[in-house]
């Protein structure tokens, strides 16, 4: 079983479970299949034996929380992990090898193979397929206004790429890597165990198929280094907070001539001090006085583009009522929203002088209008 197989194999499918299955579900599925394909029950049946091996291997990984998480991550991120675990050795072999090491090195070897052009690393037909690069994730923070109008922003991205000093060869400039003598450049050796031949990454070249005598000083011979690049991201008008935009071809470089992955940019929109958002509509809260609410008024309301609009508040408007100003919301490719204005009756903190006299006079002439009459009557009845 080769390292590459780990990435290609779907352990979930082997056990007939899925990524969300619980440990219990996995155990049940495994037991059922193990009983069915156990060698004792299928003497001499090679297919059953092979199947049993597959099941055991899948269960070995999925039944262990750490291994399962690692496996999930590997399958999700693939080559993004390459090199992360450095030159760790391969464990005792078989399905129990440490997946982190295995993937780290194997994928790195694969990646380097691609950078060498695959020529020297051949010898395993079909084994080095062109593969799309990994998707990378990024994040931008936009002002409320920029998110509303749409903007082109740039994103500094730090990710692995072919080392610029050695152009990915891993060899000190002026020298070049040579084909590994132990594996003849295939990156694989076959180990016999219990009657099975296990292909495993070559120990001499760590599965790369190439050996570097004088490592590149910039990348220590790995051939990849972390590099910063700038990607322009076009953010459409009306983008929502925490929306994810896909920028095709701006992810990690492809392997063996495959296309680059995509860049997934999550947009964080900072809240506005005045305006809020409900779909394509903008919301704003406008204070009005008690007299404006009672007698009616035409008030000026701000819009996001800076212009003021007039809003007619009819007599007898209760606090908290929302009015709609057509076409003053967000303009997106889909539609133009409205401005939703919620009026709040503002109560003065201090009333003095003539205003106080007027209010007291108002209180006297409206003394019979008890707003709590219904409330009290209702409370008594129930
Ligand atoms: Zn280098
Ligand atoms: Zn080798």
- Decide: 321 and 342 in contact? Cβ < 8 Å: yes
Ligand 1 centroid, distance to 206 Cα (angstroms) = 17
Strand runs labelled E in the chain: 136-142, 151-162, 178-179, 188-193, 196-201, 210-211, 224-235, 243-247, 263-269, 276-278, 281-288, 297-302, 308-313, 322-325, 339-345
Residues 6 or more apart whose Cβ sits within 8 Å of residue 69: none
pLDDT level of residue 255 (50, 70, 90 thresholds)? low
Q: Taking ligand 1, which is a single-atom ion, which protein residues have CB atoms under 5 Å away? A: 163, 165-166, 216, 218-219
- Which numbered ligand comes closest to the C-alpha of 220? 1
Q: Measure the CA–CA gap between 344 and 338, rounded to whole angstroms.
A: 19
Ligand 1 centroid, distance to 167 Cα (angstroms) = 6
Q: Measure the CA–CA gap between 103 and 3, rounded to whole angstroms.
A: 7
Length of the chain: 382
Ligand 1 centroid, distance to 117 Cα (angstroms) = 16
pLDDT at 53: 82
Does position 170 have pLDDT exceeding 60, yes or no?
yes
Does position 101 have pLDDT exceeding 70, yes or no?
no
R_g of the chain, CA atoms, integer Å: 34
Q: What is the DSSP letter of 96?
A: G
pLDDT at 186: 85
What is the tens place of the pLDDT at every residue in 297-329?
999 999 999 999 999 999 999 999 999 999 999
Ligand 1 centroid, distance to 76 Cα (angstroms) = 27
Ligand 1 centroid, distance to 116 Cα (angstroms) = 13
pLDDT at 112: 39
Query: Cα 238 from chain centroid?
Result: 20
pLDDT at 130: 61
Ligand 1 centroid, distance to 74 Cα (angstroms) = 25
In terms of Cα–Cα distance, which of 185, 148, 157 is closest to 265? 157
pLDDT at 234: 93
pLDDT level of residue 158 (50, 70, 90 thresholds)? confident
Strand runs labelled E in 48-204: 136-142, 151-162, 178-179, 188-193, 196-201
Instruction: Summarize the confidence of residues 278-283 as an average pLDDT.
Output: 94
Ligand 1 centroid, distance to 216 Cα (angstroms) = 5
What is the tens place of the pLDDT at every residue in 222-242?
777 788 889 999 999 999 999
107-145 burial, b at 16+ Cβ within 10 Å, e below that, comes to: bbbbbbbbbbebebbbebeebbeebbbbbbbbebebebe
Does position 214 have pLDDT exceeding 80, yes or no?
yes
- Residue 59, H or E segment: helix 46-62
- Which numbered ligand comes closest to the C-alpha of 206? 2
Instruction: Summarize the confidence of residues 371-376 as an average pLDDT.
Output: 91
- Which numbered ligand comes closest to the C-alpha of 227? 1
Does position 342 have pLDDT exceeding 80, yes or no?
yes
Ligand 1 centroid, distance to 227 Cα (angstroms) = 12
pLDDT at 284: 98
pLDDT at 37: 80
Ligand 1 centroid, distance to 98 Cα (angstroms) = 27
Structure tokens at 321: 């009522």
Ligand 1 centroid, distance to 173 Cα (angstroms) = 8
What is the tens place of the pLDDT at every residue in 58-94?
888 888 887 888 777 766 655 333 333 333 333 333 3
Does position 243 have pLDDT exceeding 80, yes or no?
yes
pLDDT at 139: 92
Average pLDDT of the residues of the chain: 80
Instruction: Summarize the confidence of residues 270-285 as an average pLDDT.
Output: 95
Instruction: Summarize the confidence of residues 360-382 as an average pLDDT.
Output: 91
pLDDT at 49: 80
What is the tens place of the pLDDT at every residue in 34-59?
888 877 777 777 788 888 888 888 88
- Which numbered ligand comes closest to the C-alpha of 210? 2
Look up the pTM and report it: 0.52
CA distances to 160, 188, 266 from 157, in Å: 10, 34, 13
Q: Measure the CA–CA gap between 279 and 10, rounded to whole angstroms.
A: 40
Q: Measure the CA–CA gap between 269 and 240, rounded to whole angstroms.
A: 7
Q: What is the DSSP letter of 370?
A: -
- Decide: 74 and 6 in contact? Cβ < 8 Å: yes
Structure tokens at 286: 């406008």
């Amino acid at each position: 079983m080769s390292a590459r197989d780990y990435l290609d194999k779907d352990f979930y499918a082997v056990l007939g479970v899925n990524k969300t299955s619980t440990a219990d579900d996995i155990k049940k599925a495994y037991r059922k299949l193990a009983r069915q394909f156990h060698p004792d029950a299928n003497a001499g049946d090679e297919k059953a034996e092979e199947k049993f091996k597959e099941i055991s291997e899948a269960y070995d990984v999925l039944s262990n929380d750490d291994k399962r998480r690692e496996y999930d991550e590997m399958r999700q991120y693939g080559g993004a992990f390459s090199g992360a675990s450095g030159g760790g050795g391969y464990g005792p072999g078989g399905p129990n090898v440490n997946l982190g090491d295995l993937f780290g090195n194997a994928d790195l070897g694969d990646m380097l193979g691609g950078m060498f052009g695959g020529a020297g690393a051949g010898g395993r037909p079909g084994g080095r397929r062109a593969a799309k690069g990994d998707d990378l994730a990024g994040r931008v923070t936009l002002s409320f206004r920029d998110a509303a109008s749409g903007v082109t922003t740039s994103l500094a991205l730090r990710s692995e790429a072919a080392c610029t000093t050695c152009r990915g060869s891993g060899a000190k400039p002026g020298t070049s890597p040579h084909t590994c003598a132990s594996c003849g450049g295939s990156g694989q050796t076959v180990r016999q165990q219990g009657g099975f031949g296990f292909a495993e990454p070559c120990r001499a070249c760590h599965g790369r198929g190439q050996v570097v005598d004088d490592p590149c000083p910039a990348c220590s011979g790995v051939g990849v280094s972390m590099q910063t690049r700038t990607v322009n991201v076009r953010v459409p008008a009306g983008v929502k907070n925490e929306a994810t935009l896909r920028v095709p071809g701006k992810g990690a470089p492809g392997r063996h001539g495959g296309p680059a992955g995509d860049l997934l940019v999550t947009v964080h929109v900072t809240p506005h001090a005045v305006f809020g958002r409900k779909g394509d509509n903008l919301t704003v809260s406008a204070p009005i006085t008690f007299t404006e609410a009672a007698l009616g008024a035409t008030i000026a309301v701000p819009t996001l583009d800076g212009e003021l609009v007039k809003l007619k508040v009819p007599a007898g408007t209760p606090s908290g009522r929302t009015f709609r100003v057509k076409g003053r919301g967000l303009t997106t490719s889909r539609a133009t929203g409205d401005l939703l204005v919620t009026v709040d009756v503002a109560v003065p903190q201090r009333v003095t002088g003539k205003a106080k006299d007027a209010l007291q006079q108002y209180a006297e002439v409206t003394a019979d209008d008890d707003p709590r009459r219904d409330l009290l009557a209702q409370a008594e009845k129930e």
